[in-house]
Amino acid sequence: MRTFTGIRAALVMFALLTLLTGVAYPLLVTGLAQVIFPVQANGSMIRMEDGTIQGSALIGQLFDDPKYFWGRLSATGGQPYNAAASSGSNYSVLNENLFMAANDRIQALQAADPGNTQPIPVDLVTASGSGLDPHISPAAALYQAPRVARVRGLGGEVVRQLVLQHVEEPFLGFMGEARVNVLTLNLALDAVP
């Protein structure tokens, strides 16, 4: 009888904890997130005026047309910025593949803007840890501004000011680095008359 009582107590405790931690807690957290942070809880989607989703502010997208700002290299499997296959390249600084990928990007940047003799910011020629980073440094955006302005036929100062308007400062002023979201910058660029 004592064994049956112990098993029954264990099963009751298992069922209660399953309901508490597997059902009640996730529902509570999901509900609170929907109320307090609805945009973030739903993937930080960027919607156009007509309601169509353009992308997420949290996942980079491939831009390779010279009229757009380019993001960091993506190291995800299959296709660039594939959120289902997030990974970094894990190449060491001595790895030939890292050198070749960086060199290919340097050549692409120079071919797209041969007159630009500024040093190329490192985040334009390397992938992030996840391979999905949607941000570049302000220096990387400003490096590309002359090319974008020239290809679009815009004044250089117009594009430069657009970049500066899209700089996101570090959280609380000191946590992280200043950054520019490439997708939101390119969408703002498309809205320039």
Please answer whether residues 163 and 138 qualify as being in contact, where contact means their C-beta atoms are separated by less than 8 angstroms: yes
Residue 1: the pLDDT is 58
Residue 88: the pLDDT is 67
Residue 89: the pLDDT is 66
d(CA 166, CA 186): 10
> Hey, where are the domains in the chain?
2-39, 45-191
Report DSSP state, residue 169: P
pLDDT lower than 50: segments of the chain: none
At 55, which helix (H) or strand (E)? strand 53-56
Residue 44 has a CB neighbour count (10 Å cut-off) of 15
pTM, entire model = 0.79
Report DSSP state, residue 24: I
